[in-house]
């Protein structure tokens, strides 16, 4: 079985249309979308569900969609949805395969402007377009027993049944909800985040400022949960600063401090 899995993994080769990377992924994009949609309710429940603040929800959705529409992320096969989860203590953001992206209230309230929010969302979109979640599932051989997207979409977690197919779906969903990215994934998502921000005309220094906020929390004695699911590579800030300089540095992009104040901070007092 291990030999069959290895053959399946290495024979499933494709070129990522956004990154240009050759990847060994045995899960199709429509399966990624279906799995992400199935996993999101469980993830949201762990972090208090979605907030009941239409202005904030709509604003975060608009910022996320601006990044997608204005960048190479639009080349991919995914339909993105952006969510705000109600947990005020957890400082984190998440990306599920297929385009389900979330940020917690705990992280959102630490930000100061729209470019920092674009840094968060751009980084998470980077995980999606780079197919990091699908790579993990493929390497762990979930794909051997996964079925088509339509079957995944019809899966009922409250009535999972006892079939091998449903067991595979349940295992894949459980893995996605507790997924941890590797350091190389983080560096790639940082680079893609800066690239997508620039393409969408955001001030790329927002990514620098975001990492400063997170590192200050880390040094303050309470490491943000972001670093537990997104390991903090050595010299990360210096690497991001180099990427920002390569992208044009102070590129005159959008900061959006007033919009962030009116659509987020005003409702979090």
Condensed to tens digits (0 to 9), the pLDDT of residues 57-91 reads 999 999 999 999 999 999 999 999 999 999 999 99
Q: Which residues pair with 85 in a beta bridge?
A: 50, 104
The pTM of the whole model exceeds 0.85: yes
Tell me what percent of the residues of the chain surpass a pLDDT of 70. Answer: 83
Domain assignment present for 8: no
pLDDT in tens, 78-128: 999 999 999 999 999 999 999 999 999 999 999 999 999 999 999 999 999
The answer to whether residues 210 and 194 touch, using CB atoms and an 8 Å cutoff, is no
Domain assignment present for 9: no
Please report the pLDDT score of residue 148 as a whole number.
62
Domain assignment present for 21: yes
Taking the C-alpha atoms of residue 39 and residue 34, their distance in angstroms, rounded to an integer, is: 9
Domain assignment present for 72: yes
Taking the C-alpha atoms of residue 155 and residue 161, their distance in angstroms, rounded to an integer, is: 9
Domain assignment present for 245: yes
Structural domains in the chain (count)? 1
Taking the C-alpha atoms of residue 195 and residue 118, their distance in angstroms, rounded to an integer, is: 11
Residue reference for tokens 């499933």: 12
In whole numbers, what is the pLDDT of the chain averaged over residues?
86
Domain assignment present for 2: no
Domain assignment present for 7: no
Residue reference for tokens 């005020």: 88
Domain assignment present for 196: yes
Range of the domain at 76: 15-267
């Amino acid at each position: 079985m291990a030999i069959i899995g290895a053959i399946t993994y290495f024979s499933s080769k494709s070129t990522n249309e956004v990154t240009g990377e050759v990847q060994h992924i045995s899960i199709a994009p429509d399966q990624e979308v279906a799995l992400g949609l199935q996993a999101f309710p469980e993830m949201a429940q762990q972090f208090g569900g979605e907030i009941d603040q239409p202005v904030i929800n709509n604003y975060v959705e608009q910022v996320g969609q601006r990044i997608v529409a204005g960048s190479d992320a639009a080349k991919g096969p995914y339909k993105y949805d952006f969510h705000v989860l109600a947990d005020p203590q957890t400082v984190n953001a998440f990306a599920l395969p297929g385009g389900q992206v979330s940020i917690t209230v705990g992280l959102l309230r630490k930000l100061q402007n729209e470019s920092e929010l674009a840094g968060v969302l751009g980084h998470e979109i980077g995980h999606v377009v780079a197919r990091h979640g699908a790579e993990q599932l493929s390497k762990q051989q979930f794909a051997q027993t996964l079925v088509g997207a339509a079957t995944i979409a019809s899966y009922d977690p409250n009535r999972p049944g006892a079939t091998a197919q449903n067991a595979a779906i349940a295992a894949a969903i459980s893995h996605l909800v507790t997924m941890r990215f590797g350091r190389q994934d983080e560096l790639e998502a940082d680079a893609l985040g800066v690239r997508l921000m620039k393409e969408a005309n955001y001030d790329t220094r927002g990514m620098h400022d975001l990492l400063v906020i997170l590192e200050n929390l880390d040094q303050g004695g309470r490491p943000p949960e972001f670093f537990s699911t997104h390991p903090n590579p050595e010299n990360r800030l210096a690497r991001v600063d180099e990427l920002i300089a390569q992208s044009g540095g102070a590129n005159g992009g959008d900061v959006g401090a007033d919009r962030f104040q009116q659509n987020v901070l005003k409702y979090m007092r």
